Amino acid sequence: MLRESIDHLDAILLTHEHNDHIIGMDDVRPFNFSQQTDMPVYATERVEGELKQRFSYVFEAVPYPGAPQLQLHRIDASTPFTAASIGIMPVAIFHGNLPILGFRIGNFAYLTDVKTIPEAEMTKLTGLNTLVLNALHMNPHRTHLNVPEALQMIETIQPKQAYLTHVSHRMGLYAEVEKQLPKGVNLAYDGLSFKDSF
């Protein structure tokens, strides 16, 4: 956030409760200070429960001064919602056996920690300009797509541009992996940004 000079955050969408996705929650504090408002956080009932356990100090009746100020919004996999005036469509996906969420925003979809997408949810992913999809490394993994599996999924979804994220250090070097990827598929990297119309 500091390196990329991100000085404003409208809302936080949680895909699932694993620590590599929520443990930075305490760092919402500077945004509370600078924006002088609670941070809207969108999560399913299960994820909300996990958040309340792991960050119990945030949810005390009288939190200590300076604790993160979160405004929880309950969402579910089948109901579109609006965050920061932007319409968002949740996509129900599976992280191994764990049901989690991806999000479609206009013609952009963000799906991380996917292993499988139920057939019925695939209809939510047609006509994408940009798809961000996880690809761990080349080898198989129980709960994450590897590169060949991600490429197969991209082939089915047919976005104009796909970026691979949630990349392991076992992936190999950026320049070498990039050469092996088909046209319209690139490795994402820290600080990558793009514009899409919402």
**What are the residues binding Zn ion (CB under 5 A)?**
20, 113
Nearer to Zn ion (CB atom), residue 24 or residue 182: 24
The two three-digit tokens of residue 111, written as one number = 């799906």
- Cβ count near 189 (within 10 Å): 11
Q: How many CB atoms lie within 10 A of CB 52?
A: 13
DSSP 92-132: EEEETTEEEEEEEETTEEEE-S-SB--GGGGGGGTT-SEEE
The amino acid that residue 72 corresponds to is L
Write down the least CB distance from residue 80 to Zn ion, Å. Answer: 24
* Nearest residue (CB) to Zn ion, 20 versus 196: 20
In the bound state with Zn ion, the residue whose beta carbon lies nearer, of 160 and 170, is 170
Nearer to Zn ion, 67 or 98 (CB): 98
Residue closer to Zn ion by CB (options 48, 113) is 113
Dist. CA 147–CA 187, nearest whole Å: 10
Residue listed under structure tokens 């429960």: 49
Q: How far is CA 75 from CA 10, 102, 112, 148, in A?
A: 17, 12, 18, 32
Q: How far is the CB of 122 from Zn ion (least distance, A)?
A: 22
Q: Which is nearer to Zn ion, 69 or 168 (CB)?
A: 168
Of 121, 101, 127, 113, which is closest to residue 48 (Cα–Cα)? 101
**Least Cβ distance, residue 195 to Zn ion (angstroms):** 26
Tell the smallest beta-carbon distance from residue 63 to Zn ion (Å): 28
- Min CB(180)–Zn ion separation in Å: 23
CB of 3 to Zn ion, least distance (A): 21
